[in-house]
Amino acid sequence: MHDHALNISDLTVSYHRIPALHHIAFEVHCGHSVALLGPNGAGKTTLLKTLAGLLRRESGKIHFHGREVRGATPDIAYLPQRGQIDWDFPTTVRGLVEMGRYLRLGWWRRYGAADAKAVDAAVATMNLEALQDRQISALSGGQQQRAFLARALAQEAHVLLLDEPFAGLDKPNQDILKDTLRKLRESGKLLLVSHHDLGTVREIFDRVVLLNGELIAAGPVAEAFTEPNIHKTYETKVFAGVDHGKPI
């Protein structure tokens, strides 16, 4: 089991020298879908961005498959919040998924038949065949998300980091996304998903990580997603190292 693990140890990340995450340590494995829970400002997005290699760590190590992750790696795909994307960008769904291959191919290696096949497969898995020639703004929110998941599949990423994917989706689209995430988990991907709705945690995820500036709990839903842990995560103030300017 060990070599399919994403292991995080002693992770501290700061903004302008004020820590947002304090000495986080946990381990999750491929084939699981993990909910990242915590109040606003708890460091969920910070953790995802750090794992994606977007933020500098102050301390700590990240290991995947037994190897240390130092910067960028195509094994880990980060799916940004919807608001960060320029949806008017001149590209089709297929063009977007092809970008996933560029990440594998590097700057100059030729885009070949194998790449086209991988793109076909990714598009098919996400049920986007009929939409692949559409410009990306002509998709619904749920379809846009699946297009980005397809890009991560084409990239052959093993770890998918999703930032609030359920935000702004209506019920039918939430159901589709739930289903999609289940399929991805069953195919052996590791999903790390920041999530707001505590009511749906049990039906979507099998692992949780509870964050509140520090790690409150991490583990299987049955063990870690308990009343006292939830209370501790949401009822206390976010630990930020300072309280009204005074060190705690």
Partner 1 sequence: MRRALTGGALIGFTNGFLGTFIILRRMSLMADALSHSMLPGLAIGLWFFGLSAGGLFFGGIVAAFFVALGAMLLARGSRLKEDASLAILYTVAFSIGVVLLQFVPTRVDLKHYLFGNILGLGDTDLWIAYGVALVVVPGLLLLLRPLLLALFDPSVAQSQGVNVNAIQLALVAASVLAMISSAQAVGVILMLGLLVTPAATLYLLTDDFGKMLWGGGILGCAGSIVGLLISFRFDQIPSGAAIVLVLGVCFVLAWIFGPRYGLVARLRKSRHFHEESLLRWGRGSSGGH
| Residue closest to 42 by CA, chosen among 240, 203, 187 | 240
83 vs 36: CA distance, rounded Å: 20
149 vs 77: CA distance, rounded Å: 9
191 vs 134: CA distance, rounded Å: 27
Residue placing its CB nearer to partner 1 in the complex, 45 or 233? 45
In whole angstroms, the minimum distance from the beta carbon of 103 to partner 1 comes to 5
111 to 140, contacts with partner 1 by CB under 8 A? 135
- Contact pattern from residue 38 through residue 77 relative to partner 1, giving x for each residue in contact according to CB under 8 A and a dash for the rest: -----------x--xxx----------------xxxx-xx
Residue placing its CB nearer to partner 1 in the complex, 80 or 141? 80
| DSSP assigned state of 33 | E
In whole angstroms, the minimum distance from the beta carbon of 173 to partner 1 comes to 22
In this structure, the number of other CB atoms found within 10 A of the CB of residue 113 comes to 7
Residue placing its CB nearer to partner 1 in the complex, 54 or 201? 54
Cβ atoms of 60 and 114 closer than 8 Å: no
Q: Return the axis-axis angle of helices 113-125 and 141-154, rounded to nearest 10°.
A: 140
Please tell me whether residue 76 adopts helix, strand or coil conformation: strand
- Contact pattern from residue 71 through residue 110 relative to partner 1, giving x for each residue in contact according to CB under 8 A and a dash for the rest: xxxx-xxx-x---xxx--xxxx--xx--x--xx-xxxx--
168 binds partner 1, rule: CB under 8 A: no
Query: Rule CB under 8 A: which residues touch partner 1?
Result: 49, 52-54, 71-74, 76-78, 80, 84-86, 89-92, 95-96, 99, 102-103, 105-108, 135
